[in-house]
A and B are shown apart, each in its own frame.
Chain A
Amino acid sequence: MHCVSTTNKQKMKKLLGFIRKEFYHILRDPRTLIVVFGIPVVQIMLFGYVITNEIKDVSIAVFDQSNDVRSHELINKIASSGYFIVEENVHSFNEINETFKRGKVKEVIVLEPNFGQKLERNQKSSIRLIADASDPNTANMIVNYTKGIVATYVNTINGNQQLPIQIETRGRMMYNPAMKGVYMFIPGIMTLILMLVSAMISSISLAREKEIGTMEILLSSPLNPAQIILGKLTPYFILSIINASLIISLGIFVFGVPVVGSLVLLMAECILFILVALSLGILISTVAKTQQVAMFMSQFALMLPTIILSGFVYPIENMPIPLQIISNILPAKWFIIILKDIMLKGAGFTFIWKETLVLVGMLLFFVLLSIKKFKIRLE
């Protein structure tokens, strides 16, 4: 018994020594630290403001063939909505094509001749909305918004005509009463940055040892593969936790995203997600022979799928079924759900245990596979 415990102690000591060595490696180069902390901070500050799908100040043009009081009234209404800026006036249908080709104007509103007169006399007139649908997502939204404004304008002309029977609808915007764009995007931005930075730093670290030849020294040391991986992971794990706290604080204090649920639960889930990302990075580095390959796999293979399929920008439930299935293999998808649930909905663990379980499963899978793939010999 005595003997076993000393060997365990020795093993522990070796591992600690190795971890310390790894720490020195990272801390020795302050540039790496600047990068590891600087990238997330700058990116979240930038993306938090810049990434939004709200429609505002869209450039439009007006083709007013009527030029009367009513037409001006309607155009003013549209211009003052905050959604649109009337960039120019066009004077013929031929001009519309030219305007669109220049690319700035996204919609042209065409008012028929005698718009006001028809409205007064026949109580009926028409307008035409021509959208530059080369961007169909935006075009669709812009046209809907314009229709909404026209409808309110018609209502004000009519006065509020009362129906004899009235169903009153009370709408409640849950979890985000002010419908702020940052609530939608901040959790996704956090996930994306945490995922990519963690996977990148850990995947490059082992590949680097292979490439510059120090791997041999590690392999001939009495540490086993699991210990080497553990020792490699620990410093990055600590850095990533600091990183996550930084990112979450920025989300809370700069962008005003609340944490309705438990902060402890939030941090625990963050730690789990960091472990998943780091172990994915390690897995990549066991496969990749050079840093170049490791980087391409950790960035190129992860970046776009994570942005596009995780539900960060595009809602998953709108995707075709095969893609909805594929999206399940992205750790980011599950973490975004968890973040939104805890931060915005105030969900407790009972609501997110499934997502958590998926992440735990992924973690185990990545770790076991990396230990298996980790080659003790160099080729």
Chain B
Amino acid sequence: MKTLFFIIQKEFLQVFRNKSMLPIIFVMPIVQLVVLVHAMTFEIRNIPMTVVDHDLSGYSQRLVHKFAATGFFIIKNATPSTQEANNDLMTNDAKIVLEIPAHFERDLIRNTKAQIQLRVNAIDGVAAGLSNAYANSIIADFNQNIALEWMKVAKLQGGTRITIDESYWYNPELNYKTYMVPGLLVLLVTIIGMLLSGINLVREKEIGTMEQLNVTPIKKYQLLIGKMLPFLCIALFVMTIGLNIGYFAFHIPFVGNLLLLYAMAIVYLVVALGFGLLVSTLVDTQQQAMFIAFFFMMIFIMMSGLFTSIESMPKWGQYLDRLNPVAYFVRIIRMILLKGSGFRDIQTEFWSLVVYGITVFTIAIARYHKRA
């Protein structure tokens, strides 16, 4: 027990002695959390639009006004030139082009039929689909209005209708920040923990202090635990700051049980830090450790379900993601904080993490030889 205590003390000393690392460990994650979370939305609004109105009639102008009035589209440019409009699409000055042909009003009145064209920058397919659908509904609405006026028809009766009532539970205002803050916090804590633990052992190897540790009467598991506990404390500390910011600055509801959250956080961090230590035992130089840590961390982060949802992945990707500890904890922290899920709801995740942690540690202890 005493040996363990000394190792822990030594690690803490080393962390706090390194003045250039302190701001990176404690300040950078918080700054990133506070700044980056504001960017994380897919919500579509203010779509820049270019209008090419060849007709310039009463009707065409009304249609254009209708587009402008929705707030969904912003008319950045109105030009008579199709060429210029296409240029706007090219230069990203417009995401959508509405082109109204000459004789639009005349065609509509004489032939009861007219055509208009929408050109959408579809590189972001999902956003393009939504804005196209929205533009179409504006046009359909306009169509109905002038039909009513012009033909003096009474409101179209008949026709079946299904009214849709939508409700958004747990987050009725659809505030994306409450969802993103916990997830982002998990990533930040993971990166610190994994990078710190990933190069820790190998650093001792590289600078030669490992030999000294090897000749001391420390057991293998004592060394690994002693190296992990300080990082666990640091990670929990950063997480606590982050949660406070989430609560006070972003008004995250905190529905669930905080004790459960911390218990799960410890289990998770044991896996994450154990993974780092495992990497550290597998390599000879810090450089290699960094590359390997970087490789796995990128994959863990990109597949964590924070940026794009796990359900959108192909099936094999979802199976592969079961090996991703970050995905488990991102899910857990969101479920506990936002929905108040209890232990029963997150059992699967809990046991998966426990098995993961035991496996990682067993391998790390087996791989770590008390040799130089």
Check B5 for interface membership: any CB of A closer than 8 A. no
Q: How far is the CA of A291 from the CA of B21 in the complex (A)?
A: 11
**Is there an interface contact between A347 and B90, defined as CB atoms closer than 8 Å?**
yes
- Within the complex, the shortest CB–CB distance from B82 to chain A, in Å, comes to 12
Q: Which of chain B's residues 289-306 have a Cβ closer than 8 Å to chain A?
A: 290-292, 294-295, 297-299, 301-303
Check A351 for interface membership: any CB of B closer than 8 A. yes
Contacts of A158 in B (CB 8 A): 159-160
Q: Which of chain A's residues 261-316 have a Cβ closer than 8 Å to chain B?
A: 288-293, 295-297, 299-301, 303-305, 307-309, 313-315
Given A176-B128, A300-B28, A345-B90, is A340 in contact with B123 using a C-beta cutoff of 8 Å? yes
- Which of A43, A150, A288, A351 meets B164, CB within 8 Å? A150
Check A364 for interface membership: any CB of B closer than 8 A. no
Given A49-B314, A167-B142, A309-B36, is A134 in contact with B125 using a C-beta cutoff of 8 Å? no
Contacts of B130 in A (CB 8 A): 141, 144
| Count of residues in B whose CB is under 8 Å from the partner chain | 119
Q: How far is the CA of A142 from the CA of B249 in the complex (A)?
A: 29
Q: Which of chain A's residues 60-117 have a Cβ closer than 8 Å to chain B?
A: 96-97, 100-103, 106
Given A135-B179, A136-B176, A169-B139, is A129 in contact with B132 using a C-beta cutoff of 8 Å? no
Check A254 for interface membership: any CB of B closer than 8 A. no
Contacts of B47 in A (CB 8 A): 317
Check B127 for interface membership: any CB of A closer than 8 A. yes
Q: What is the predominant secondary structure among interface residues of chain A facing chain B?
A: helix
Given A174-B122, A212-B206, A317-B48, is A133 in contact with B38 using a C-beta cutoff of 8 Å? no
**Is there an interface contact between B163 and A164, defined as CB atoms closer than 8 Å?**
no
A124, A166, A327: residue with the most chain B Cβ atoms closer than 10 Å:
A166
**Is there an interface contact between B112 and A164, defined as CB atoms closer than 8 Å?**
yes
- Within the complex, the shortest CB–CB distance from B117 to chain A, in Å, comes to 5
Contacts of A49 in B (CB 8 A): 313-314, 317
| Closest chain B residue to A36, Cβ basis | B291
Check A138 for interface membership: any CB of B closer than 8 A. yes
Contacts from B to A (Cβ < 8 Å): 20-21, 24, 28, 32, 35-36, 38-48, 89-92, 95, 108, 112-130, 132-133, 135-136, 139, 142-144, 146-147, 150-151, 153, 156, 158-172, 174-176, 178-179, 184, 187-188, 191-192, 195, 199, 203, 206-207, 286-288, 290-292, 294-295, 297-299, 301-303, 307-309, 311-314, 317, 331, 334-335, 338-342, 345-346
10 further A-B contacts with Cβ under 8 Å, apart from A102-B345, A168-B116, A300-B28, are A49-B314, A50-B314, A103-B331, A140-B174, A179-B126, A183-B123, A200-B291, A293-B21, A304-B36, A341-B90
